[in-house]
Amino acid sequence: MESRLPRQNVQSPHCSVEMTGNHFHTTQPRERRVTHTMGQQLGRRSWAEPWKIKVVEPLYRIGAADRKRALETAGYNTFLLRSDEVYIDLLTDSGTSAMSDRQWAGMMLGDEAYAGSRNFYRLEDAVRTYYGYPHLVPTHQGRGAEHLLSKTAIKPGQVVPGNMYFTTTRAHQELAGAEFVDVIVDEAHDPDDRTPFKGNVDLIKLERLVHDVGADRIAYLSLAATVNMAGGQPVSMANVRELRALCSRHGIRIFLDATRAVENAFFIQEREPGYETRSLRDILFEFCSYTDGAWMSAKKDSLVNIGGWVAVRDEELFEELRSLVVLYEGLHTYGGLAGRDMEAMAIGIEESVQDDHIRSRIGQVRYLGDLLSGWGIPMVNPVGGHAIFLNARCFYPHLAQDQFPAQTLAAELYLDSGIRSMERGIVSAGRDPDTGDHHRPALELTRLTIPRRVYTQAHMDVVAESVKAVYDARANSRGLVMVHEPRLLRFFQARFAPR
């Protein structure tokens, strides 16, 4: 049919269009290179961030000589760099989110009354609605909450089992006199194992521990959602449900580190049969329902620059937390925060459970992960919720763990491009308080942590190229020696020198 229709040619310097009947056929000039969007390359339609930018903060690239000088001054520890010396800052997703226009508007509704601020009641309501805990104590950030809970729920000499340690959490548990025992599934320690829920508690390890030490020596089970130190790996709903049954049989409480529980809910929705059509909000609520309480660093999931809380079901424990918060943080209706911070947090909680938000947040992390794993860069798989964790042992097989491969990799990345990452290996693990020796974690990782709603896909491309450049030059890296070691949480302030 078409062949009988008249053909006409339309020529312009930029395009050549041939028309057959009422169809246009465009032919590109021969010399033009065709570029493809990322969606086209992947055979699907592209996605875009579900926000537009209203305020911008300029970024500056720093010259190679200045980066070298800055890193030397910082003792090869990225925590000791000034942020002005950093180009793309992937140190942490903690307190680094961009707040929404609604949150900034909420800041203007701050009620700075010393007692009974209306923003406290808004926050209390949001925590009850989305997390389901009736009794809330606000704190200035997560470790304030860890401190209060450890002091009230642990008796010296007790044991705290948990699904992998977290730095500040374990430090507070140990300061309160407990011994932390890792009961996470073995797969969590293997960066190449692709099990979907590598954050799960190993119920057999836990049962054995209860048998060995006795249930009354167990202060509580410390359950982290999307386990940070394992690479942001989630816990399944089935696991927390079984955990509840086991702990109830032995009279053991479960307290949840809810810092990234919304991201955990996303993985349940995506990976766990029966939850595909359930909303994030529902999944989060059900997950929390199996626990006795939670502590929270709201600087992550809840999209605020500062804030935290501890919330529980038990009234007696609540009374104790309420007495202590007055001593360490501030009155029980502000806990070290301004009223406006609590308002922003209440709004952030509502925004954090929106499907569009979390899909794009985790999608961005995955985008970076897909680029890097496509190039054969060693990292923890599957990619978790908040960061890419590069496997520094495989970057530098020629470096012993005492030569700090992950710290070395963070330093090399900064030297290459001004991108700031963070060590999550032997330095973060600290020392055994009894033997004084280094804890030697199986995972020796460098974390590229993605702040929420801050960077675009173009930034991810720049990061990926820098990681590749460092990977290609990996044979030249000689490792570091530690020249200054603080007693507590040494990774924040330790200093190093090249070997």
Ligand X SMILES: Cc1ncc(COP(=O)(O)O)c(C=O)c1O
Nearer to ligand X, 143 or 198 (CB): 143
Q: Can residue 452 be called a binding residue for ligand X (CB under 6 A)? A: no
**Residue 491 appears among annotated catalytic residues:** yes
What angle in degrees, to the nearest 10, is found between the helix axes of 261-271 and 280-289? 110
CB of 458 to ligand X, least distance (A): 27
**Residue 167 appears among annotated catalytic residues:** yes
Nearer to ligand X, 410 or 464 (CB): 410
Q: Which of 75, 308, 382, 384 binds ligand X (CB under 6 A)?
A: 308
Q: Can residue 257 be called a binding residue for ligand X (CB under 6 A)? A: yes
Tell me the site size for ligand X, rule CB under 6 A: 14
Q: Can residue 348 be called a binding residue for ligand X (CB under 6 A)? A: no
Does residue 382 have a cis bond before it (omega within 30 degrees)?
yes
CB of 34 to ligand X, least distance (A): 43
CB of 155 to ligand X, least distance (A): 22
SS3 assignment for 33-62: CCCCCHHHHCCCCCCCCCCCCCCCCCCCCC
CB of 258 to ligand X, least distance (A): 9
Near ligand X by CB under 6 A, which window of 83-91, 124-132, 161-169, 426-434? 161-169
Is 301 in contact with 350 (CB distance < 8 Å)?
Answer: no
Looking at residues 58 to 97 of the shown chain, list those that interact with ligand X (rule: CB under 6 A): 94
- Contact code string over 98-137 relative to ligand X, x by CB under 6 A: ----------------------------------------
Q: Can residue 168 be called a binding residue for ligand X (CB under 6 A)? A: yes
CB of 439 to ligand X, least distance (A): 17
Tokens for 390, please give them.
């590069």
Among 7, 66, 73, 114, which one carries the catalytic annotation? 114
Is 181 in contact with 165 (CB distance < 8 Å)?
Answer: no
- Contact code string over 214-233 relative to ligand X, x by CB under 6 A: ----------x---x-----
Cα distance between residue 441 and residue 392, in whole Å: 12
**Residue 155 appears among annotated catalytic residues:** no
Q: Can residue 297 be called a binding residue for ligand X (CB under 6 A)? A: yes
CB nearest ligand X: which residue?
A: 142
**Residue 440 appears among annotated catalytic residues:** no
Near ligand X by CB under 6 A, which window of 155-163, 164-172, 309-317, 341-349? 164-172
CB of 93 to ligand X, least distance (A): 8
How far separated are the first and last CA of the chain, in Å rounded?
77
Cα distance between residue 429 and residue 146, in whole Å: 18
**Residue 468 appears among annotated catalytic residues:** no
Q: Can residue 477 be called a binding residue for ligand X (CB under 6 A)? A: no
CB of 163 to ligand X, least distance (A): 11
Among 255, 367, 491, 496, which one carries the catalytic annotation? 491
Near ligand X by CB under 6 A, which window of 138-146, 194-202, 232-240, 432-440? 138-146
Nearer to ligand X, 231 or 479 (CB): 231
CB of 220 to ligand X, least distance (A): 15
Nearer to ligand X, 173 or 259 (CB): 259
Nearer to ligand X, 279 or 493 (CB): 493
CB of 266 to ligand X, least distance (A): 16
Strands 221-224 and 254-257: parallel
Nearer to ligand X, 299 or 361 (CB): 299
Near ligand X by CB under 6 A, which window of 37-45, 165-173, 198-206, 440-448? 165-173
Q: Which of 77, 117, 141, 403 binds ligand X (CB under 6 A)?
A: 141
Nearer to ligand X, 70 or 148 (CB): 148
Q: Can residue 166 be called a binding residue for ligand X (CB under 6 A)? A: yes
Nearer to ligand X, 146 or 343 (CB): 146
In terms of phi and psi (left: phi > 0; alpha: psi -120 to 50; beta: otherwise), the region of 149 is alpha
Cα distance between residue 308 and residue 138, in whole Å: 6
Among 299, 424, 452, 474, which one carries the catalytic annotation? 424
Return residues touching ligand X (CB under 6 A): 94, 141-143, 166, 168-169, 224, 228, 257, 259, 297, 299, 308
* Active site positions, annotated: 114, 166-167, 257, 300, 424, 491
